[in-house]
Structure 1
Amino acid sequence: MQRHHQPDHFLRASGYTFVVVSAVCFCIIVYLQLHQSLGAELQPRSPTWLELAGQEAGPMSLLFIAVVAALLGKGLLVSAHMGSRATIPFDDLPLVEQAVLDGKPEPIDQYVRLRALTGISGNFTKLGVTGLPLTTVFLTLVFSLISIASTNANSSAFLDLTKLTLGAFIGSFVQGRVEQRRSSDKQKSNGGR
């Protein structure tokens, strides 16, 4: 029994280590940026993105390391938590108890699917934003960031793409809701016969 819990402790310790490394990297970035803005003389900003990236290579590298370490730490902590989690928590037992006693698989399947929804995709699934609506949301955000970051004439073209993908998101989201309503109405009418 002692050996069974040892990997969980190792995963937790590794996860916390990665989170601490991430926090230290973020603190170093804040210190470097404050030191540069307060103590050192202001350097003129370069007009191109490539030169700006060259000037900020240190903080950008630390930012990349911090983000990767935070994601790894979160993943390790979640996997350590999932290993020690009960199949059906005691608080959720009244939700599925009657379905188990009656032998109905539908509510049990729905409960298991809901419990399995974790992470980013699980959160979007819980919100009902999957497939095409999720893709259009992502594209809308990407085009928005590009139009904000762009300083030349292409920014208006990316702003138009942002408006287009936002309209596509609204259309696909509404269409998905209409189809869900039709299928639920159809099931209700078939169940009433």
Structure 2
Amino acid sequence: MSDVTEGDGTKTEPYKAISPEILYSRYFLIGGLVFLCCSLALFASAAWLAIQTNQQLPSFVMAAINQSGSESVTTNDRMLNVLASVGGVFMAPLLCLIAGFMCSFLGIRLLKTSGAAATHVIAPQDYGLLGPAIAGGNSSAIDQFIRLSSLSGATGTFTKVGLTGLPLATIVLTLILAILGIFNAQFFDLAKLTLGAFLGSFVQRQAEVAAAKPPA
């Protein structure tokens, strides 16, 4: 398609309609992200409901025992009533968990359909660069390429600031335990332990880096 020349001599590129394949791919991508966000919300709801139910479980069990405490009710019927009551209490978090898995499955499938979740060990645009290095057995060039590739994306952001491995894992675990501690104070003790582990690993890493530097 040729360019369109304006009256003042400037050339402008004509309007190109978006192909149906690209349009449908965008729809699949948006749908996949929406389903994944819904799955995260459902998993969080299931965790919150499970914590609340676990705290109130003794009262539910006692209420079920009192309701089936009639002398005409046999022991087996009483146990069935208690089990049915407990199962009904945990039904809400279980349904949220099942719905979360379904939403995550659909979201991943939509992302794969859109091409956003396509996995390539080597990106197609890097074939020409890595092909000769792999064929020639140049391990140094391959190692340098892997190091440079790891500096992109979310992982690369943490790598640039020096947070990798155990420090990064302990930070994530500390944040998760701190959020859970809002609903149950016992998780705060675990968060303190993981925070101490993070500080210890971070100080150790800084000491190793300082020891590796040559003296001035």
- Higher-Rg structure is 2
| TM-score (normalizing by structure 1) | 0.48
| TM-score (normalizing by structure 2) | 0.44
Structure with greater proportional helix content: 1
